[in-house]
Amino acid sequence: MATIAVLGTLDTKGQEHNFVADQIRQRQHDVLMIDVGMMGADGVAVDISCHQVAAAADVDLAGLLLRQDRGECVAAMAKAAPVLLAQLQLDGKIDAVISLGGGGGTAIASAAMRVLPLGFPKLMVSTLASGNTAPYVGTSDLVMMPSIVDVAGLNRVSRMVFKRAATVICAMAESAAGEASQLQKENADDRPLIAASMFGNTTDCVNFAIPPLEAAGYEVLVFHATGIGGRAMEGLIRSGMVVGVLDITTTEWADELAGGVLSAGADRLDATAAANVPSVVVPGCLDMVNFGEPDTVPAIYADRLFYHHNPQVTLMRTNPEECSQLGRILAEKINRYQAPVSVLLPVKAVSVISAPGQPFHDPEADSALFEALTQNLNPNVELLAVHCAINDKVFGQACAQALLRNLQQVKQNA
């Protein structure tokens, strides 16, 4: 039997959350009702009141209510609910969490769910689930389920949706409980983790690098460098779960610089410095900036070189000026690393389509990138120019060997 937290704005959506709670109890699980509304639960018996939630983060609920600013109230609960939920999970008092909400409820509940660890069951039934869910899901494994109709009373559609949601969270909780003992056994034999970044244009390189690392006793987790993938990798590195980083594909910085759609933010590459772990960095796919369909490309880039990867993806070739900037940015980031780091340059091509004879082949731009990196890196950073393309087997294996040397150096100095 699991204890499932039913968390929501019970002042306005108490009936709906109570219906879900009853469905969970019918499946022989316990319920912990948590109110993150502001005016007190409406006809619903709660286990943790909105005042207790606010107190968890020292939020002045009384002062907020006097000001009657709904936006401020939502922001305050979105700050307090994560603190409370994280503590409940840490104390082993809950095994899963579910919530129903519109805009405000989704903002509060998803903020709380995002702090929970990977694998902890979390389900958000939301009116926003069919739109842009990135602000709510972030890099977590939060599951969002469309409510179809508004979370505003019980009707033939909402009952169906809420029943299925209750079934889903119960199944997730049961599955997690069954996996716990097996995971505990497996964790005793877990290999140290290495995080690696990959794109379609660097797939072969990463695939060539993985076998030597696995043969040395490491497990490699690969992240797709699509913005959200880079942020997820950065989060994992910061968590302390990885012992090394194979950053083959730093392409997200090209999107950050030029306004592409796959930016991972200005702090991309910072987590490795913060975690102080050995790494390898490669300027993989810095020849391209990602946009959507052709008509989504900003007008200022009208005269640039483009490659239509597919109907939904338009790639723009970075020019020498942008490549020089990218080289300086990478050098600045890498210079902050304290653990052993190696920078490898694939001299003949930084992606599949920048190789000789391919549409993005531009020796001048590549030279600007390599020169900026070389001139701005600290002398203590290992810099290796490998005279082949990024996806050659020789280059992929060179990356693996460089990372293994850096990992060994840390072991020897420990």
Summarised one tens digit per residue, pLDDT across range 306-349 is 999 888 899 999 999 999 999 999 999 999 999 999 999 999 99
Q: Could you tell me if 215 and 362 lie in one domain?
A: yes
In Å, what is the CA distance from 343 to each residue of 247, 277, 278, 337, 395? 10, 14, 12, 12, 12
Q: Could you tell me if 159 and 204 lie in one domain?
A: no
Beta bridge partners of 124: 99, 144
Q: Could you tell me if 169 and 286 lie in one domain?
A: no
CA 96 to centroid of chain Cα atoms: 21
d(CA 197, CA 213): 15
Q: Could you tell me if 232 and 342 lie in one domain?
A: yes
Nearest of 296, 305, 342 to residue 323 by alpha carbon: 305
d(CA 395, CA 206): 10
pLDDT at 118: 86
351: which DSSP letter? S
**pTM for the structure as a whole:** 0.78
Q: Could you tell me if 20 and 74 lie in one domain?
A: yes
Q: Are 281 and 269 spatial neighbours (Cβ–Cβ below 8 Å)? A: yes
Domain-embedded: residue 302: yes
Q: DSSP secondary structure string, 228-272?
A: HHHHHHHHHHHHT-EEEEEE-B-THHHHHHHT-TT---TTTTHHH
d(CA 97, CA 143): 11
pLDDT at 407: 97
pLDDT at 39: 80
The share of the chain scoring above pLDDT 90, in percent, equals 83
Domain-embedded: residue 410: no
Q: How many domains does the chain have?
A: 2
Question: Which residues make Cβ contacts (< 8 Å) with residue 212, sequence separation at least 6?
Answer: 397, 400, 401, 404
**pLDDT-derived band at 182, boundaries 50, 70, 90:** low
Return mean pLDDT, the chain.
Answer: 93
Give the sheet arrangement for strand 143-146, strand by strand.
Answer: 30-35, 3-8, 96-101, 122-126, 143-146
Q: Does the pLDDT value for residue 78 go beyond 80?
A: yes
Domain-embedded: residue 330: yes
d(CA 46, CA 37): 12
pLDDT at 185: 52
Give the tokens for residue 207. Answer: 């695939």
Q: Could you tell me if 241 and 384 lie in one domain?
A: yes
Nearest of 111, 102, 139, 92 to residue 9 by alpha carbon: 102
Q: Which of 184, 212, 234 is the last residue of a domain?
A: 184
Q: Which of 162, 184, 206 is the last residue of a domain?
A: 184
Q: Could you tell me if 73 and 212 lie in one domain?
A: no
In Å, what is the CA distance from 203 to each residue of 146, 215, 222, 224, 399? 34, 19, 10, 10, 13
The share of the chain scoring above pLDDT 70, in percent, equals 97
Q: Could you tell me if 261 and 389 lie in one domain?
A: yes
pLDDT at 222: 96
Domain-embedded: residue 46: yes
pLDDT at 86: 96
Nearest of 150, 88, 72 to residue 120 by alpha carbon: 88
Give the tokens for residue 243. Answer: 């012992």
Domain-embedded: residue 8: yes
In CATH, what number is assigned to the domain containing residue 126?
3.40.50.12020
Q: Could you tell me if 295 and 156 lie in one domain?
A: no
Q: Does the pLDDT value for residue 296 go beyond 60?
A: yes
- Per the model's pLDDT, the better-predicted residue between 186 and 86 turns out to be 86
Q: Does the pLDDT value for residue 67 go beyond 60?
A: yes
Q: How many CB atoms lie within 10 A of CB 376?
A: 16
Domain-embedded: residue 52: yes
Mean pLDDT within 151-178: 94
Give the tokens for residue 166. Answer: 């209750």
In CATH, what number is assigned to the domain containing residue 231?
3.40.50.12030
Range of the domain at 55: 3-184
Q: Could you tell me if 354 and 223 lie in one domain?
A: yes
In Å, what is the CA distance from 29 to each residue of 1, 295, 401? 5, 52, 51
d(CA 128, CA 64): 26
Q: Does the pLDDT value for residue 255 go beyond 90?
A: yes
pLDDT at 306: 97
CA-based Rg of the chain, rounded to a whole angstrom? 25
Q: Does the pLDDT value for residue 184 go beyond 80?
A: no
Question: Which residues make Cβ contacts (< 8 Å) with residue 352, sequence separation at least 6?
Answer: 200, 201, 358, 391
Domain-embedded: residue 413: no
Q: Does the pLDDT value for residue 210 go beyond 90?
A: yes
Q: Which of 184, 201, 236 is the last residue of a domain?
A: 184
**219: three-class secondary structure by DSSP:** strand
- Per the model's pLDDT, the better-predicted residue between 42 and 355 turns out to be 355
Q: Could you tell me if 344 and 310 lie in one domain?
A: yes
Q: Could you tell me if 173 and 64 lie in one domain?
A: yes
Question: Which residues make Cβ contacts (< 8 Å) with residue 326, sequence separation at least 6?
Answer: 253, 254, 257, 283, 286, 318, 369, 372
How long, in residues, is the chain? Answer: 414
Domain-embedded: residue 414: no
Q: Does the pLDDT value for residue 43 go beyond 90?
A: no
